[in-house]
Amino acid sequence: MATLEMEQMISRLQHVPGHEDQIIEMLEGFLEVFPILDVGLFRYSPIGYLTEGVMAIVPENNGLTELSHIRDIRDDIRTVPPVKEAVRERKAVLVKGENFIKYNFRYRFSQNTKFLLFVPICFRNTVIGVLSSTQFSAGEKEIENLLPAITRYGVEIGRIFERPYLKSGDSGLLNSRELEIMYLLSLGESTKSIAKKIHLSEFTVQDYIKSSLKKLGVRNRTQAVADLLRKGIL
């Protein structure tokens, strides 16, 4: 049932205008599809291994939900092993037992929390964000059984954020592989590390970079990344 609801939600998200509205709809959709009562969105950057809070949706006493900003929550994921595991493995992670007691206070948006959930948002081979939930309308076992579907939600969300820049038939836009490599360059990755991460040779990565520079009409990688950032593509 969750799979069908998720597909319907993903389809709906594609037609939401505006980046911020799309993010809010994505968070609300997460709560609609799964037996989860709150959710927080964190940006993630592999430069410094940092997560930074963006916004959260939490339940109120009257049964409604409240949207709040959580920009004061920042962490180096190397100090939070469950988040590091979710990012490294690109899989949703349920935190319980001793780890829950240890990290609950850092990510709790609501009271009566019994376990934590971390879900990576993947932009192709790179994690760009993390969803965190602390309140659930189902038990631990049911949430554990849903982890594969929850992981897929993070992957599909990443594709939604990628899709506007991958229109076919427009030679002025980068293709999916070129965009992926430009994104990794913007994170400070070297040609060698990119090649290893996406399983290509360094020569092939260099060819993609040259092709991207030509399409963008710039001289070097720095100009290419700056141009894509200015346009809001990265």
pLDDT attached to residue 56: 92
On the question of a common fold for 1-167 and 176-231, the answer reads no
Q: Mind listing the pLDDT tens digit for each residue in 175-191?
A: 878 888 998 998 888 99
Contact 110, 58 (CB under 8 A): yes
The count of C-alpha atoms lying within 13 angstroms of the C-alpha of 200, restricted to the half-sphere facing its C-beta, is 17
pLDDT attached to residue 59: 81
Q: Mind listing the pLDDT tens digit for each residue in 107-144?
A: 666 566 678 899 999 876 788 899 999 889 999 999 99
Contact 31, 65 (CB under 8 A): yes
Q: Mind listing the pLDDT tens digit for each residue in 58-99?
A: 887 656 678 888 888 888 999 888 999 999 999 999 998 777
Domain 176-231 is found in CATH 3.40.50.800: no
Mean pLDDT estimate for the chain: 84
Residue 40: pLDDT over 90:
yes
What's the pTM value of the predicted model, to 2 decimals? 0.69
The DSSP output letter for 198 is H
Residue 155: pLDDT over 80:
yes
Rounded distance, CA 34 to CA 185, Å? 35
pLDDT attached to residue 5: 82
Rounded distance, CA 46 to CA 187, Å? 7
Residue 165: pLDDT over 60:
no
Confidence band of 169 (pLDDT split at 50, 70, 90)? very low
Residue 170: pLDDT over 50:
no
Residue 7: pLDDT over 90:
no
Of 94, 40, 103, which Cα lies nearest the Cα of 67? 40
Q: Is 205 helix (H, G, I), strand (E, B) or coil?
A: helix
Q: How many residues does the chain have?
A: 234
Q: CA 33, 183, 174: angle at the middle one, nearest 5? A: 95
pLDDT attached to residue 115: 85
Confidence band of 55 (pLDDT split at 50, 70, 90)? very high
152: number of Cβ within 10 Å: 17
Classify burial at 98, counting beta carbons within 10 Å of its beta carbon; exposed 0-12, middle 13-18, buried 19 or more: exposed
pLDDT attached to residue 180: 86
Cα–Cα distance list, 46 to 83, 187, 201, 221 (Å) = 13, 7, 22, 19
Could you state, in order of their start, the residue ranges of all structural domains in the chain? 1-167, 176-231
Of 151, 198, 193, 157, which Cα lies nearest the Cα of 179? 198
pLDDT attached to residue 168: 45
Architecture of the 1-167 domain: 2-Layer Sandwich (3.30)
Most confident of 67-76, 165-174, 198-207: 198-207
Q: Is 229 helix (H, G, I), strand (E, B) or coil?
A: helix
